Amino acid sequence: MSQGAAIDHAPPARLGRRLSAMLWRRPRWAAAALLVPPMGWFVLIYLAALVTLFVAAFWQVDDFTGEIIHRWTLRNFETLATSPTYRTIALRTVGIAAAVTVTDIVLAFPCAYFMARIAGPKLRATLFTLMLLPIWLSYIARVYAWRLILAHDGVLNWALGEVGLPPANIGYTNIAMWLVFSYIWLPFMITPIYAAIERVPGSLFEASADLGARGLRTFTKVTLPLVVPGIIAGSIFTFSLTLGDYITPVLIGGTGSSFIGNVVYANVGIANDIPFAAAFATIPAVVMLIYLSIARRLGAFEML
Amino acid sequence: MNKRLGYWMSTAVAAAATTVALVALPAMAAPAKANYPAKIGPGEGQLNIVAWEGYAQDAWVKPFEQQTGCQVHRKYAGSSDEMVALMRQGGGSEYDLVSASGDASLRLIYGGDVQPVNMKLIPAWQDFLPQLKSPPNNTIKGVHYGVSYEWGPNVLLYNTDKVKPKPTSWAAIYSDQYKGQVTVPDNPIQIADAALYLKAHKPELGIKDPYELTQKQLAAAVQLLQAQRPLIKKYWAQASDEIGLFKNGDAVIGAAWPYQTNTLAKDGVPVADVIPSEGATGWSDTWMLSAKAKHPNCAYQWMKYVSTPKVQAQQAIYFGETPANKNACSAMNKIEPGACHKYHLDAPASYFDQIHFWQTPRIECSNGKRNCTSYRDWQRAWQRVKG
């Protein structure tokens, strides 16, 4: 009895030790205990949501009351396939996402190269801060700022007038959207390209120079091939972020500026036609799936 | 390891599919049953409302909060569709009240989203205009699904410096005179405005009611709106969008509510509005009580409060619309001399009758035939217009 009392002094420690001993003896249980919370999260929040989305795409909505009817139909996909409106919107979304990605690659490469290869540590830190500073501001605030810049009586037209040029009047157009998207997602392109360039050993450039290659040759034969995975990694950000956006088209776009996201938003938040929204939402999901599988082939995932 | 991962994945997918199957139970929609309270009980301390911009101003919300202890939480909606969606959010219990227009009210009633209101608890209802005591947009078979509030026409707003002479027809926004400087609401109900214009200018289409369009008539309206698209600077989603467009010089003419005119004029922008010769569409709003309201006593307090002449007058003058309570006349004149006449509360019934109030388009026409176009047809058509 006295022995038992002595041990009873620290029951939590005993329980803990027992548990750890048991898990040590059965490593599978330990693995299961570690995996259950993240797997549960993954299944419930992520996969269940995705499956719901795909299942809902085959339902339809009562015309008048707006209630969802749980009856299988291909009507939503039929509408999508046959209507030129939705085809135009899908193509516009993908087209602008691609244009933004290309623009950002062109703009980001020199910046990243300068920061990684030419700038000293102090200048590099300053440039990094400057590049990342806008991200600290709310996305909405930056988009609204562009609205004021591009408005008819805005900063851009005023500046053009001051130097004697005709007004640009690009407010509320697809050009304005392209500009704003390119600005907003630029840091997401610079960072991975910078990381890729920094990883290239300096000795490779020296070797290239020793073998008689000039600047352009070194760039096309050494730098670019080694940096491509970084570019692809950055393009995943710029492409997918533009593809999924629906705020900038509302605030910056004009007529004929709807994105897939806007149609989805209008059908969920406004029309309450969730099945149709789900059907349309499968398009960017499929586009991204194809894009990611190509990116994976090109080795971009090692740069993330 | 990969094999085991695959096993895990398939288990996960199976689990997810089961979850979905369990959640996806069929739902039936029908108007909610009456559950009348005998009297208004003590307030719950909170009230969540969905309202049009300008419908819950501090000028009348603050005194309400002091009188009743009900804290008012406001959510502004930009369109009737958004209001319907918000009232269905979270199973329909997130918001207690909504200021629904005629193109949303029937959808909310038939969707079972709102419940009948006991008019005995709203004493000011006795003083409402006769047309608004039991209007078809909120009363079905004598059951009141809400309290009428205010009404008014959708007007043609224009910049008086840039638009000369004063426009008298909606043709001003359909002809290329102001190309690239026109703005209209981003709202499927805008099709009714086009139909109203066609009713006057293309009688051969035979449009009688702009909310009851056959496929052919809808196609004609869509054609007109598609021809209008190149003239549009932007389809406005919120009243504040249109105010910004007029302030920054992006738009000089467009379809608007009197609220925009008042706000812009207050900010010194040279604007005026007009009801063109073709007549106008308009709204008649109703405060409706959610079928699953969490704060019904505060909601009844609110409906009772906003029906009183003083609040009706404040609301009318702030937004530029007309009260449902005809006793609000003297209160309006007290705030702004001549306001009762300016906002048409003393106008004869013919004024009320010339406004084509927003309705939900339905497949069933009023003559009983089922060859009209539904609201969903209108939504799809509107997406085709916007592109």
Confirm whether A109 is domain-assigned.
yes
pLDDT for A13 equals 65
pLDDT for A11 equals 57
Dihedral-angle region of residue B356 (phi above 0 means left; psi in -120 to 50 means alpha; beta otherwise): beta
Confirm whether A67 is domain-assigned.
no
CA distance A126 to B152: 58
Confirm whether A76 is domain-assigned.
no
* pLDDT tier for residue B5 given thresholds of 50, 70 and 90: very low
User: What average pLDDT does this structure show over B14-43?
Assistant: 65
CA distance A130 to A116: 15
Enumerate the domain spans of chain B.
Answer: 46-151+283-357, 153-281+360-386
DSSP assignment of B124-175 equals: GGGGB-GGGTS-TTTEETTEE-SEEEEEEE-EEEEETTTS-S---SGGGGTS
pLDDT for A267 equals 82
Q: A205-214, B24-33, B151-160, B319-328: which has the minimum mean pLDDT? A: B24-33
CA distance A27 to A57: 42
Whether A66 sits inside 8 A of B234 (CB atoms) is no
Residue B7 pLDDT more than 70? Answer: no
Residue A261 pLDDT more than 90? Answer: yes
Q: Are B299 and B157 in contact (CB under 8 A)?
A: no
Give A18→chain B minimum CA distance, Å. Answer: 28
Strand order through the sheet with B155-159: B232-236, B182-185, B253-256, B155-159, B271-274
Residues A219, A117 share a domain = yes
Whether B29 sits inside 8 A of A67 (CB atoms) is yes
Q: Does B23 touch chain A (CB under 8 A)?
A: yes
Q: Which of A45, A50, A262, A270 to mutate to test the interface with B (most CBs of B within 10 A)?
A: A270
Question: Residue B85 is nearest to which of A35, A48, A269, comparing CB atoms?
Answer: A269
User: What average pLDDT does this structure show over B76-102?
Assistant: 89
User: What average pLDDT does this structure show over B90-114?
Assistant: 90
User: What average pLDDT does this structure show over B204-225?
Assistant: 95
Confirm whether A287 is domain-assigned.
yes
Q: Which pair of structure tokens corresponds to residue A121?
A: 């540590």
Residues A157, A25 share a domain = no
Question: How many distinct structural domains can be found in chain A?
Answer: 2
CA distance A255 to B230: 8
Q: Does B27 touch chain A (CB under 8 A)?
A: yes
Looking at every residue in chain A, the average pLDDT score rounds to 87
* pLDDT tier for residue B381 given thresholds of 50, 70 and 90: very high
Q: What is the CA radius of gyration of chain A?
A: 27
CATH of domain B46-151+283-357: 3.40.190.10
Question: Residue B250 is nearest to which of A52, A55, A171, comparing CB atoms?
Answer: A171
Question: Residue A64 is nearest to which of B180, B249, B362, comparing CB atoms?
Answer: B362
Q: Which of B87, B373, B379 to mutate to test the interface with A (most CBs of A within 10 A)?
A: B379
Chain B residues lying within 8 Å of A45, measured CB to CB: none
Whether A63 sits inside 8 A of B232 (CB atoms) is no
In chain A, the percentage of residues whose pLDDT exceeds 70 is 92
Cα nearest neighbour of B360 on chain A: A64
pLDDT for A79 equals 87
Return the SS3 of A69.
strand
Q: Are A182 and A242 in contact (CB under 8 A)?
A: no
Whether B12 sits inside 8 A of A39 (CB atoms) is yes
Residue B278 pLDDT more than 60? Answer: yes
Q: At what angle do helices A155-162 and A139-150 cross, to 10 degrees?
A: 40
Whether B20 sits inside 8 A of A51 (CB atoms) is yes
pLDDT for B22 equals 41
User: What average pLDDT does this structure show over A109-131?
Assistant: 93
Confirm whether A126 is domain-assigned.
yes
Q: A19-28, A149-158, B150-159: which has the minimum mean pLDDT? A: A19-28
Give B82→chain A minimum CA distance, Å. Answer: 4
Return the SS3 of A31.
helix
Residue B9 pLDDT more than 70? Answer: no
Residues A103, A41 share a domain = no
In chain B, the percentage of residues whose pLDDT exceeds 70 is 93
Chain A residues lying within 8 Å of B28, measured CB to CB: 67
Confirm whether A245 is domain-assigned.
yes
Reference B299, options B51, B1, B49; nearest CA is B49
**B44 vs B33, higher pLDDT:** B44
Residue B24 pLDDT more than 50? Answer: no
Whether B12 sits inside 8 A of A79 (CB atoms) is no
CB pairs < 8 Å spanning A and B = 124
Chain B residues lying within 8 Å of A154, measured CB to CB: 248
Residues A296, A232 share a domain = yes
CA distance A84 to B385: 12
CA distance A186 to A190: 6
pLDDT digits (tens, 9 = 90+) for B135-156: 988 998 999 999 999 999 999 9
Whether B386 sits inside 8 A of A39 (CB atoms) is no
Domain CATH number, residue A236: 1.10.3720.10
Cα nearest neighbour of B247 on chain A: A153
Confirm whether A89 is domain-assigned.
yes
**B213 vs B3, higher pLDDT:** B213
Q: Which of B4, B18, B19 to mutate to test the interface with A (most CBs of A within 10 A)?
A: B19
CA distances from B23 to A50, B242, B304 (A): 14, 42, 39
Residue A108 pLDDT more than 50? Answer: yes
In chain B, the percentage of residues whose pLDDT exceeds 90 is 68
pLDDT for A40 equals 87
CATH of B153-281+360-386, one of 3.40.1440.60, 3.40.30.10, 3.40.395.10, 3.40.190.10: 3.40.190.10
Question: Residue B27 is nearest to which of A48, A68, A268, comparing CB atoms?
Answer: A68
Q: Beta strands B46-52 and B71-77: pairing type? A: parallel
Q: Which pair of structure tokens corresponds to residue B378?
A: 């209108």
DSSP symbol at B46: E
B272: which strand partners?
B158
Residues A95, A150 share a domain = yes
Q: Does B88 touch chain A (CB under 8 A)?
A: yes
Confirm whether A75 is domain-assigned.
no
* pLDDT tier for residue A105 given thresholds of 50, 70 and 90: very high
Question: Residue B233 is nearest to which of A66, A70, A172, comparing CB atoms?
Answer: A172
pLDDT for B28 equals 45
Q: Are A129 and A115 in contact (CB under 8 A)?
A: no
Residues A89, A186 share a domain = yes
Question: Residue B383 is nearest to which of A44, A52, A263, comparing CB atoms?
Answer: A263
Question: Residue A152 is nearest to which of B112, B248, B384, comparing CB atoms?
Answer: B248
Whether B111 sits inside 8 A of A66 (CB atoms) is yes
Q: Does B6 touch chain A (CB under 8 A)?
A: no
Q: Which of A61, A64, A247, A280 to mutate to test the interface with B (most CBs of B within 10 A)?
A: A64
Domain that holds residue A27: 2-56
Q: Does B26 touch chain A (CB under 8 A)?
A: yes
Chain B residues lying within 8 Å of A70, measured CB to CB: 24-27
State which H helix or E strand residue B185 sits in. Answer: strand B182-185
Contacts of B230 (CB under 8 A, 6+ apart): A255, B176, B179, B180
Question: Residue B233 is nearest to which of A65, A254, A269, comparing CB atoms?
Answer: A254
Looking at every residue in chain B, the average pLDDT score rounds to 89
ipTM: 0.74
CA A245 to chain centre: 9
Question: Residue B387 is nearest to which of A88, A147, A169, comparing CB atoms?
Answer: A88
User: What average pLDDT does this structure show over B103-111?
Assistant: 88
Contacts of B172 (CB under 8 A, 6+ apart): B156, B158, B163, B178, B253, B276
Whether B20 sits inside 8 A of A258 (CB atoms) is no
